[in-house]
Structure 1
């Protein structure tokens, strides 16, 4: 089957079209392993699907193209990932343009309910903008750092933030060389 998938995908990830190392991904739930319910994807896309990496909105822009795939497994995975990103206007527009027959849509929804995709939580700034590791943010309030004499002033730019995995209300960043935890409601993503 892997050779059939390689031929179908032209040796590229069926979501982002990268030519990196590819893996067979079985789109669950399924009643048997077939070409229609297995796809070839790269490690980056696999990390997005399995939530082992934070959602990478830039990378997932590839979904604008994969919505047109005729392969049911690609359609299902694309729909689920777009559903994760439904707060992004381009993702909502792509979902609205996407055509899936009733059976494929039911499959996509069944898997979304099963893996909790509908309740995925993401880090957002005070304006609802999606935050990702490496972003720069601006403080919207002067913050006193607990256990320190440091006071982070309103308007301070914090570069190269890290997301706190267990709490979507918190990020980590360095201010004056000190790593601190900052509440996302007090930051604005810098464009």
Structure 2
């Protein structure tokens, strides 16, 4: 069974956030370490577009979180928590957050995006050109890097896909190079355009 089929079966062929049955696709919740069923949800275009483009968020659309925040599935709960934090300026979302429960592992996953922080508190990661990096972005190494604790050298031009961000240090990101998870300094990477 494919990931799409598993998510369709789990969700009853509807968006796991708002319940829409139109234009559904897989949304892998960043930062993606495992992906798969536990790290993904089935979402409609409207929900996925607004998750990916915070400036386009329509508060009324997300009143659906009143139901989806109680999902038994980690990916759905995490996205609900993140979106409720983005909408904190609207009183109703804070009321829902006050009722919501995530276990420690789910909370760490949810906080990885930084959506719960005020703009002044967020740790901003930027590549060598000053482009802001997001969890799940793809980057390319701009110079050869010796990997600490091993004889491996990550070569210039190597693509590192689906990075995760260090929540405390704006200079550190993590990603897999040659199957090995490594920490990379942001001064040595360039964000890849979507089509690369």
TM-score by length of 2: 0.57
Deviation at 1:111, TM superposition (A): 1.8
Separation in structure 1 between the aligned mates of residue 55 and residue 42 of structure 2, nearest angstrom: 18
Q: Is the 8 A contact 1:80 1:117 kept in 2?
A: no
Deviation at 1:119, TM superposition (A): 2.9
RMSD: 1.9
Of residues 51, 56, 63, the one that matches 1:49 is 51
Of residues 62, 65, 74, the one that matches 1:63 is 65
Separation in structure 2 between the aligned mates of residue 88 and residue 80 of structure 1, nearest angstrom: 14
Separation in structure 2 between the aligned mates of residue 44 and residue 20 of structure 1, nearest angstrom: 10
Q: Report the equivalent of 1:23.
A: 25
Q: Which runs of 5+ in 1 are unaligned?
A: 121-191
Separation in structure 2 between the aligned mates of residue 49 and residue 117 of structure 1, nearest angstrom: 16
Q: Within 5 A, what are the aligned runs for 1:152-167?
A: none
Q: Which runs of 5+ in 2 are unaligned?
A: 121-196
Work out the number of aligned pairs and report it.
Answer: 118
Cα distance 1:24–1:118, how it changes in 2: closer, same or farther (>3 A)?
A: farther
Q: Is the 8 A contact 1:6 1:12 kept in 2?
A: yes
Cα distance 1:72–1:117, how it changes in 2: closer, same or farther (>3 A)?
A: same
Higher relative contact order (Cα pairs below 8 Å, separated by 6+ residues)? 2
TM-score by length of 1: 0.58
Q: Report the equivalent of 1:90.
A: 92
Q: Report the equivalent of 1:119.
A: 119
Cα distance 1:54–1:87, how it changes in 2: closer, same or farther (>3 A)?
A: same
Does residue 5 in structure 1 map to residue 12 in structure 2? no
Separation in structure 2 between the aligned mates of residue 107 and residue 59 of structure 1, nearest angstrom: 24
